[in-house]
């Protein structure tokens, strides 16, 4: 077991103007969401380094020796003093993180990026459409809206997974259904024995819905093919592209608009995004692709 946070605090002044300097956090809890996704609860060892954020923002997460990667914050700022990151094991850093246990240290810097337009969404019905790990940033916003009792309209979630055993965030889905705060609709690409629910792409769930286009906004996150299909479906049904909001994933190295990796057609995904409405994206073609 390593030293306590207070001992380590004194070793370095956490508040620095170096944009590349992360702050240390301790993993206080790990939730196994499915075989490849885990949700990590992180607490800052130096409380002065804790930050406020809004749903849709991300941090640069690092495990020293294994590099850094952008990870969206999956907890709501309304919840606790800790932050949660839901991470799918995909590359070098995320594999290193998945081998870590509660009590170990990781470093984060942030929060970065433009959040979801939480004020503009007030009073509107919200349709969330997610695929796989794409629910992570939307989970932050869903829980934010739930906590702001009555400030937002009806919340519907259409969530697609590869198979029933791949369905992640089951605790959340159950809690949302149990208190009736979210109308949760699930589908899987490939059914397994005993699966009673829907099979097919997440767009098939949209067919069941009656959307009041004048007072609804859609929030999407998932693989690019899913995003494209959902955008065309929603636009076909008459939703204004300004009310379709998505958040993009990109290879990022710095997170603060310097390294150039997420530069897309004049837009820096890390600074001008990652949250965009589809009208903006249509003006910078290629960005969703």
Partner 1 sequence: MKALKLDRNAIGQWLSNMAGERDIYAPASDGPAKGTWTLLTDYSMPEIKPGVPARPVKNFLFPQPETLLKFSIVPTDPDCCLPSEPEENGRKNVVFGVRPCDARSIGLNALACKADTYYQANMDKNAIIGLTCSQVCSTCFCSETGGSPMGTEGCDVSLTEIDGRYIARAMTERGEELLALAESFGKEVTDSDFSAVEALEERARSGSDEIRNPEEQLRKKDLMELYNAPFWQELADRCINCGACTFLCPTCYCFDIQDETLHGKGRRIRCQDSCMFPLFTLHASGHNPRGQKIQRVRNRFMHKMKYFPDRFGPISCVGCGRCVRDCPVNIDIREVMRSLLNFHDMGSVTP
Residues that bind partner 1 (CB under 8 A): 2-3, 8, 11-12, 16-22, 24, 62-69, 90-91, 94, 105-107, 223-224, 249-251, 253-254, 256-266, 283-287, 289
Structure tokens at 286: 């290629």
CB of 219 closer than 8 Å to CB of 129: yes
CB of 215 to partner 1, least distance (A): 31
CB of 190 to partner 1, least distance (A): 19
Which of residues 54 and 226 has its CB atom nearest to partner 1 in the complex? 226
- 84 vs 49, 130, 187, 220, 272, CA distance in Å? 15, 18, 25, 20, 23
Structure tokens at 259: 């390294």
Report the SS3 class of residue 9. helix
Which of residues 244 and 269 has its CB atom nearest to partner 1 in the complex? 269
Residue entry with tokens 């996704």: 37
In angstroms, rounded to a whole number, what is the distance separating the alpha carbons of residues 43 and 23?
10
CB of 59 closer than 8 Å to CB of 51: no
Which of residues 92 and 122 has its CB atom nearest to partner 1 in the complex? 92
Which of residues 88 and 185 has its CB atom nearest to partner 1 in the complex? 88
CB of 66 to partner 1, least distance (A): 6
CB of 41 to partner 1, least distance (A): 18
In angstroms, rounded to a whole number, what is the distance separating the alpha carbons of residues 30 and 44?
16
Report the SS3 class of residue 137. helix
CB of 12 to partner 1, least distance (A): 6
In angstroms, rounded to a whole number, what is the distance separating the alpha carbons of residues 134 and 143?
15
In angstroms, rounded to a whole number, what is the distance separating the alpha carbons of residues 80 and 227?
31
Residue entry with tokens 């070098």: 92
Which of residues 24 and 125 has its CB atom nearest to partner 1 in the complex? 24
Which of residues 77 and 255 has its CB atom nearest to partner 1 in the complex? 255
CB of 51 to partner 1, least distance (A): 17
């Amino acid at each position: 077991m390593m030293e306590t946070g207070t001992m380590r605090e004194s070793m370095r002044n956490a508040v620095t103007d170096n944009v590349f300097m992360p702050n240390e956090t301790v993993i206080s809890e790990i939730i196994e969401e499915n075989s490849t996704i885990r949700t990590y609860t992180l607490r800052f060892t130096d409380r002065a380094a804790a930050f406020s954020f809004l749903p849709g923002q991300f941090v640069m997460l690092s495990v020293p020796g294994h590099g850094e990667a952008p990870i969206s914050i999956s907890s709501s700022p309304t919840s606790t003093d800790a932050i949660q990151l839901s991470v799918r094991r995909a590359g070098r850093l995320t594999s290193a993180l998945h081998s870590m246990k509660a009590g170990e240290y990781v470093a984060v810097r942030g929060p970065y990026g433009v959040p979801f337009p939480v004020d503009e969404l007030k009073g509107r019905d919200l349709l969330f459409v997610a695929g796989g790990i794409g629910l992570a940033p939307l989970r932050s916003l869903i829980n934010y809206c739930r906590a702001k009792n009555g400030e937002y309209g009806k919340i519907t979630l259409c969530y697609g997974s590869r198979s029933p055993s791949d369905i992640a965030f089951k605790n959340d889905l159950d809690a949302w259904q149990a208190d009736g705060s979210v109308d949760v609709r699930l589908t899987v690409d490939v059914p397994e024995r005993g699966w009673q629910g829907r099979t097919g792409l997440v767009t098939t769930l949209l067919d069941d819905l009656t959307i009041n286009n004048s007072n609804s906004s859609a929030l999407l996150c998932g693989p690019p093919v899913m995003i494209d299909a959902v955008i065309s479906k929603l636009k076909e049904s008459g939703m204004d592209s300004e009310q379709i909001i998505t958040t993009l994933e990109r290879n990022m190295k710095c997170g603060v608009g310097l390294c150039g990796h997420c530069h897309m057609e004049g837009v820096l995904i890390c600074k001008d995004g990652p949250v965009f409405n589809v009208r903006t994206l249509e003006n910078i073609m290629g960005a969703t692709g």
